[in-house]
Amino acid sequence: MTRHDDVRTVLSGAGFTRDLSGAAGTAQPAAGARPMRTVNMDGRPHLELRRLVSKAFGVRQIDALRPRVADLTEGLLDALEKDGPPADLVRHVSAPLPAVVICELLGFPVADHEVLGRWCDRITTVGAGGVDQEAWRELSAYVTRAADAKHSALAQGAPPDEDVLSTLVRVHDEEGALTREELVTLVIVVLAGGLETTRTAISAGLLRLFRHPDQLARLRDDPGLLDPAIEELLRHQPVIDLNRVQVATEDVRLGGRLVRAGELVQVSVNAANRDDEVFPDAARFDVARRPNPHLAFGHGAHHCLGAALARVEMRAVFEAILRRFPDMHLAVAPESLRWRGGHVTLGLTALPVAW
């Protein structure tokens, strides 16, 4: 499915599910055992897990993070400026900023953000080999150790921290509403989501601006366009390099054809975001585009939990660069840039800039 309306319908969950656990050939839980809940489930199991972490990503909580994100951004740009041009925006800004922010939000030592990033890079590979199981085990062991440390501190009477991991440990210990395996998996999903997609949105978004100097000039002349520009970057610049597969739970008519219950449907968010029926002259990059009902963060119950945080981080970076480096530009030919392949997300390996 590539049309905006059809993709939106599938993502809404009406007549479709992203839970493929019941598909033929998949392992089923033992008789009487409760299946482990995952974020790929729908309905109550998904809502139960989402509710455990959603408060940390609420509008009020994310707004409170704005000063911290701004301070981190300024510090990273200080280091970039000190190194002097040419400098790599991926290494200096777009990779470390979301990594540090998500570590602080989850309750992990900021010093570990690079090793955590490498693990997440390995577990988000796609292809015949599937998930890097060794990396998954190593990251799971790390999260388990961190959860055990939180548990021990609480057991010894330490005041509870306000980070996500501490919250989940309390839910596990005091309410029994979360198994240890569910806790570890949920933390890893939040961690990988906070690292991978925002890193790409920042670096690839900046590249898109550099390659459209007329739009970059409009943005520099009118900083009030920053918010619509971010939405247009999210629409126009693909971040996810994977078309999600869902399964129909009932007969549904989509795009003029009948999709029968049990049939698989693949949706392309990137194609939906270029639908001329919804976005006039969709191939054109326009920082002032309004309205902009893009589907970059999904739709429905599975709408990206970290959407508000990603917007805050993107805004902090773009605002600071426009203010501090009005002449920043690519330091290499665009065709020489390398894109990482074989992952859930797209990603530039480096983005050399000068000013």
Write the pLDDT tens digit of every residue in 68-115.
999 999 999 999 999 999 999 999 999 999 999 999 999 999 999 999
The pair of three-digit structure tokens given for residue 292, joined into one six-digit string: 């902009």
Q: What is the pLDDT, as a whole number, of residue 29?
A: 46
Cβ(33)–Cβ(321) below 8 Å? no
Cβ(74)–Cβ(337) below 8 Å? no
Residue 123: C-alpha distances to residues 113, 130, 140, 189, 293 (Å): 15, 9, 11, 10, 30
> What gap in Å lies between CA 137 and CA 149, rounded to an integer?
18
What are the start-end ranges of the E strands in the chain? 16-17, 87-88, 245-248, 252-254, 257-259, 264-266, 329-330, 352-354
- Residue type present at position 41: M
Q: What is the pLDDT, as a whole number, of residue 36?
A: 67
Query: Between residues 33 and 110, which one has the greater pLDDT?
Result: 110
Q: What is the pLDDT, as a whole number, of residue 30?
A: 47
**Minimum mean pLDDT among 129-138, 213-222, 263-272: which range?**
129-138
Q: Do strands 257-259 and 252-254 pair parallel, antiparallel, or not at all (unpaired)? A: antiparallel
Alpha helix stretches (DSSP H) within the chain? 4-12, 43-54, 59-83, 89, 96-106, 113-123, 133-155, 164-170, 180-210, 213-221, 226-236, 269-272, 307-324
pLDDT band at 48 (very low <50, low <70, confident <90, very high): confident
Q: What is the pLDDT, as a whole number, of residue 289?
A: 98
pLDDT band at 346 (very low <50, low <70, confident <90, very high): confident
Scan for tokens 């508000």, then name that residue: 308
Question: How far does Cα 37 stand from its chain's mean position?
Answer: 20
> What gap in Å lies between CA 99 and CA 116, rounded to an integer?
8
Best CA proximity match to 306, nearest among 98, 116, 109 = 98
**Minimum mean pLDDT among 123-132, 262-271, 279-288, 325-334: which range?**
123-132
Scan for tokens 């010093």, then name that residue: 111
Best CA proximity match to 23, nearest among 262, 302, 261, 266 = 262
The three-state secondary structure class of 103 is helix
pLDDT band at 347 (very low <50, low <70, confident <90, very high): confident
Q: What is the pLDDT, as a whole number, of residue 35?
A: 59
Mean pLDDT in residue range 117-126: 89
What are residue 252's DSSP bridge partners? 259
Q: What is the pLDDT, as a whole number, of residue 59?
A: 85
- Please give the DSSP secondary-structure letter assigned to residue 97: H
The Cα diameter of the chain in Å comes to: 65
Instruction: List the domain boundaries for the chain.
Output: 39-251+306-354
Domain 39-251+306-354 architecture: Orthogonal Bundle (1.10)
> What gap in Å lies between CA 227 and CA 214, rounded to an integer?
17
Q: What is the pLDDT, as a whole number, of residue 23?
A: 52
pLDDT in tens, 146-176: 999 999 998 898 888 889 999 999 888 888 8
Question: How far does Cα 13 stand from its chain's mean position?
Answer: 20
Mean pLDDT over the full length of the chain: 90
Scan for tokens 């629409």, then name that residue: 235
> What gap in Å lies between CA 314 and CA 70, rounded to an integer?
10
Q: What is the pLDDT, as a whole number, of residue 128?
A: 66
Mean pLDDT in residue range 4-10: 95
Residue 341: C-alpha distances to residues 79, 122, 238, 345, 347 (Å): 29, 12, 13, 8, 8
| Beta-carbon contacts of residue 24 (< 8 Å; ≥ 6 apart) | none
What is the pTM (predicted TM-score) of this model?
0.91
Indicate if the alpha-carbon torsion angle 275, 278, 284, 288 is positive or negative: negative
Q: What is the pLDDT, as a whole number, of residue 52?
A: 85
Query: Between residues 55 and 33, which one has the greater pLDDT?
Result: 55
- Whether the per-residue pLDDT at 27 is higher than 90: the answer is no
**Minimum mean pLDDT among 119-128, 146-155, 231-240, 261-270: which range?**
119-128
